[in-house]
C-alpha cells in the first residue's frame, strides 16, 4: 500500500495519517471539494465516511460518473448527519465522537479496506448546544487517534461562517491545511500535548 493518496484535486495528494483542515467559502465550494475527495476515494477502493451538517444536506453532493467505480458501492460510502454523530443526544462529547470514529474506522480496516478516508463538515459547532465549546480540544485529540489506523481525516470549515478567533485555534490543531487549491504544511500547528496544556 502506498503511503500517499490522491486528494481528487489535480496535482494534490495527502499522506496516510494526515489530519487536514480544509477552508472553503460557501456550499458550492464545499460540494466541489467533497466530490473530488470522495470520488478519489471511491476510485481507489478506500472506505469513505462522510459526516454532513444540516437537515437539508442528507445526501452527498452528486459525484461525476467518471469518478464512480465500475462495481456497486456496497458499504464503501458511509454517510452520516451531524445530529446523529457530533450532536447525538443533543450535545457534543469529544469522547463519544472519538469512540464513533474508532468504531467506524476500526471496522472498515478489520473488514479489509486498506485505507479509510473521513470527512466532517464542522458548521454544527456554531450552534448554541452543550459541549460545542470543546471543539478545539477534540480537534487536538484527533491527532492522537490518527496513528491507530491507515486513515486520513479532512475537517471542513466555512470561512463565511466561522470567525477569526476560532479559526486561529483550529489552525493550531491541524498539521496540514487545504486552502485555495493547495495543501500546505501548517507552521502554526502545535502538538496535541502542548496545545492542550496551554488550553488548561
CATH of the domain at 145: 3.40.50.300
Q: Tell me the per-residue pLDDT of 59-92, one tens digit each, with 9 for 90 and over.
A: 555 555 544 444 445 679 998 999 999 999 999 9
- Count of structural domains, the chain: 1
Print the domain residue range for 143.
4-199
100: part of which helix (H) or strand (E)? Answer: helix 94-110
- The C-alpha cell that represents 65 in the structure block: 460518473
Q: Is the pLDDT of residue 142 over 50?
A: yes
4 pLDDT tier (thresholds 50, 70, 90): confident
Tell me the CA distances in angstroms from 122 to 22, 68, 171, one per residue in order. Answer: 10, 26, 14
Q: Tell me the per-residue pLDDT of 150-188, one tens digit each, with 9 for 90 and over.
A: 999 999 999 999 998 899 999 999 999 999 889 999 999
- Residue 60 pLDDT: 58
**Cell 491507530 sits at which residue?**
148
Q: Tell me the per-residue pLDDT of 20-68, one tens digit each, with 9 for 90 and over.
A: 999 999 989 999 999 999 999 999 999 999 999 965 544 555 555 544 4
- Residue 59 pLDDT: 54
Whether 37 contacts 154, CB under 8 Å: yes
Amino acid at each position: 500500500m502506498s503511503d500517499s493518496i490522491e486528494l481528487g484535486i489535480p496535482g494534490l495528494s495527502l499522506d496516510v495519517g494526515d489530519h487536514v483542515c480544509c477552508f472553503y467559502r460557501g456550499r458550492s465550494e464545499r460540494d466541489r471539494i467533497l466530490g473530488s475527495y470522495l470520488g478519489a476515494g471511491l476510485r481507489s477502493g478506500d472506505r469513505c465516511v462522510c459526516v454532513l451538517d444540516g437537515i437539508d444536506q442528507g445526501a452527498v453532493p452528486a459525484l461525476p460518473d467518471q469518478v464512480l467505480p465500475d462495481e456497486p458501492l456496497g458499504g464503501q460510502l458511509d454517510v452520516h448527519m451531524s445530529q446523529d454523530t457530533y450532536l447525538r443526544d443533543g450535545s457534543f462529547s469529544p469522547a463519544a465522537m472519538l469512540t464513533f470514529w474508532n468504531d467506524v474506522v476500526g471496522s472498515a480496516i478489520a473488514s479489509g479496506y486498506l485505507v479509510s478516508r473521513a470527512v466532517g463538515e464542522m458548521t454544527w459547532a456554531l450552534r448554541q448546544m452543550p459541549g460545542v465549546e470543546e471543539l478545539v480540544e477534540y480537534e487536538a485529540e484527533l491527532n492522537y487517534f490518527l496513528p491507530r489506523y491507515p486513515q486520513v481525516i479532512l475537517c471542513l470549515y466555512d470561512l463565511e461562517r466561522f470567525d477569526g478567533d476560532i479559526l486561529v485555534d483550529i489552525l493550531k490543531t491541524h498539521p496540514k491545511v487545504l486552502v485555495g487549491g493547495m495543501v500546505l504544511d501548517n507552521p502554526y500547528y502545535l502538538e496535541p500535548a502542548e496545545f492542550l496544556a496551554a488550553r488548561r
